[in-house]
Amino acid sequence: MIDVNYSAGRLSFSHVLGRGFIYGCLIFCAVIYMMPFLIMLSTSVRPLAEIKSGTIIAFPREITFDAWTKAWGEACIGTKCSGLSSHFWISLKVVIPSVLVTTILGVLNGYALTKWKFRGANLVFGLMLLGCFVPFQAILLPMAQTLGVFGISNTPFGLALVLTLYGIPFSTLFFRNYYVSIPDDLVKAATIDGAGFFSTLWYIIVPLSPPIIVVNIIWQFTNMWNDFLFGASFSNGDGQPVIVALNNMVNTTTGVKEYNVDFAASIIAALPTILVYVVAGKYFIRGLTAGSVKG
């Protein structure tokens, strides 16, 4: 690895100037990038009166968490005024099982497609890849009909099923591309040692998979949690996931526009994805580059 802080010879003036310029640019970009979030954060802790009396971009003079409690438990969504909380739990109920199932299926698919190459494995993989490129708008109507036939329209289960189905192609892609870099000889050795399909998977492959499992979980969780289209199409009323509920809450007009409540609600809705990234982010980056560099 090259140490960027090391350079032979004296630190010249132009060198320092160049460094300063680079860091200046970086800090500037970081501030611009963080600005909207910081404004949201500051607005969410300001009382509504203060916001209305001044401009929307300002530091809070008085800090209050009223907007947060209101967004969580009291804000009106349509005619019902009980905040985002119930929708938040629905999202968790829909997303967590979907993420788990796509991960497990991704492991199985990737493993079978790379280590137990059957006739036509590449064709199957190609078709699954195609699934990554299906425009979701195109399948809304047939999917709605299908859910109707199975009697699971407008249920969290139905929504979870749709999210899972459309998560599988990406999970398969992730795991397949990770597993091609695992030497086939490991599987051969395990076969001779007497391990079959599942015991090789369990004892050899899965222990090598944490980086890509983390990548997959972050990717799927973020996508499923932030999904709006399927949530808006295949759920209604109390069964709506938090992102759809957030949209409806912001659009529910009760006279005054409560910016602080709207912003607090947005942050609440975004919190789980931020949390997932903070907890697992370093594995995410590691996993994305794993395989390109030999450990």
Partner 1 sequence: MATLNISDIRKSYGANVILNGINIDLEHGDFLVLLGPSGCGKSTLLNMIAGLESIDSGEVSIADRVVNRVHPKDRDIAMVFQSYALYPNMTVGKNITFGMQRRKIPKAEQEKALSHVAGLLQIENLLDRRPAQLSGGQRQRVAMGRALVRDPHVFLFDEPLSNLDAKLRGEMRTEIKRLHQRLGATIVYVTHDQVEAMTLATQVAVMKAGEIQQYGPPQEIYAKPANMFVAGFIGAPAMNFIPATVTVDDAGGYGLIIQQSDARGGDICLSLKDYETSDLSRYLGHEVILGLRPEDISRYIQNGAAAPDDIFTCQVDVVEPTGADTLITISLGGKAVTARFPPKHAGTAGDEIVVHFNMIEASLFDAKTQDRI
Q: Which amino acid is at 116?
A: W
When asked if residue 183 is in the footprint of partner 1 (CB under 8 A), the reply is yes
Tell me, residue by residue from 124 to 153, as one string, x for binding to partner 1 by CB under 8 A and - for no binding.
------------------------------
Could you tell me which stretch among 18-26, 29-37, 119-127, 187-195 binds partner 1 (CB under 8 A)?
187-195
- Select the residue interacting with partner 1 from 101, 190, 224, 268 (CB under 8 A): 190
- Select the residue interacting with partner 1 from 65, 136, 157, 203 (CB under 8 A): 203
Six-digit token string for 143: 């999917």
When asked if residue 122 is in the footprint of partner 1 (CB under 8 A), the reply is no
When asked if residue 186 is in the footprint of partner 1 (CB under 8 A), the reply is yes
Interior angle at CA 205, CA 177 and CA 122, nearest 5? 35
Q: How far is the CB of 203 from partner 1 (least distance, A)?
A: 7
Which residues are 293's β-sheet partners?
290
d(CA 175, CA 122): 14
When asked if residue 207 is in the footprint of partner 1 (CB under 8 A), the reply is yes
Binders of partner 1 among 26-65, rule CB under 8 A? none
When asked if residue 181 is in the footprint of partner 1 (CB under 8 A), the reply is no
Which residue carries 């968490």 as its tokens? 65
How many amino acids of this chain bind partner 1 (CB under 8 A)? 17
Binders of partner 1 among 208-227, rule CB under 8 A? 208
Q: How far is the CB of 213 from partner 1 (least distance, A)?
A: 14
135 vs 183 by CB, closer to partner 1: 183
Which residue carries 């209101």 as its tokens? 70
Could you tell me which stretch among 41-49, 139-147, 190-198, 252-260 binds partner 1 (CB under 8 A)?
190-198
Q: Which amino acid is at 151?
A: G
Footprint of partner 1 (CB under 8 A): 183, 185-186, 188-195, 199, 203-204, 207-208, 295
